[in-house]
Amino acid sequence: MTELRDQVRERYARAATSVLTGAGAAEDGLGDGCCAPEDGLGQQLYDVLQRDEVPEGAVLASLGCGNPTAVAELREGETVLDLGSGGGIDVLLSAKRVGPTGKAYGLDMTDEMLELARANAAAAGATNVEFLRGVIEDVPLPDASVDVVISNCVINLSTDKPAVIREIFRVLRPGGRVGVSDVVADDDLTPEDRAERGSFVGCIAGALSFDEYRTSLTAAGFADVEVEATHEMVQGMHGAIVRARRPS
């Protein structure tokens, strides 16, 4: 588990360094993987207006499989947490949605990504954002402290997904909600089938199935659980929107 986490950290550190040093898009530091531009992912999933709202460095570093800010229904004054915030694009977009009375947190374990995200926040003049160092299995925020949890193609990279889901439930206030983009596998694909379609650090081998995602969220206490495919990435593996709510 530690070895896999180190591989993920190293891969995304290279991506951040690629942007920080002016080498180009973050994908240049990733090589092959689920977030390469030829797969129609990353920055291409944000419309032109959204890309214009944030610094170029945040756009270049976008390596997700969806656009969680488009489905999170953020409101003025809310507190948002982005798990695995990378270069900060979703945090900065969320900060604009929740306004000056709201707050957007980004959590990432990669120092280079945190450096890039903080530089992007400074360039954007964002005063209602904070980037935290840590892992998504152990969120450094108090119980019931956020209204919305978002994430973009990150939960599939965790080696302890039940812990991630428990942490999401813990930090959400009663009535709080989840709006996550992630990679999800067809229910008939075994873990071995998923590994044949792509690597763990490439966001494929570690993905949950639709049923596994629903079952895990329900077991943690979530209500109104939805896992909806948006596009196929490789055979039987999909970009998907995951929604749920912590009961009031």
**21 — pLDDT class (breaks 50, 70, 90):** confident
Pairing relation of β-strands 103-108 and 79-83?
parallel
Q: How many other CB atoms sit within 10 Å of the CB of residue 42?
A: 26
**63 — pLDDT class (breaks 50, 70, 90):** low
Q: What is the pLDDT averaged over residues 225-244? A: 94
Scan for tokens 């969120």, then name that residue.
139
pTM for the model stands at 0.85
Q: Pick from 7, 14, 40: which is nearest to 238 by CA?
A: 40
Q: What is the pLDDT of residue 62?
A: 54
pLDDT (tens digit per residue) in 93-147: 999 999 999 999 999 999 999 999 999 999 999 999 999 999 999 999 999 999 9
Helix ranges (DSSP H) in 21-160:
48-52, 56-60, 89-98, 111-124
Q: Which domains does the chain have, with CATH numbers?
A: 2-245 (3.40.50.150)
Q: What is the pLDDT averaged over residues 58-65? A: 55
Most confident of 50-54, 111-115, 206-210: 206-210
Q: What is the pLDDT of residue 64?
A: 62
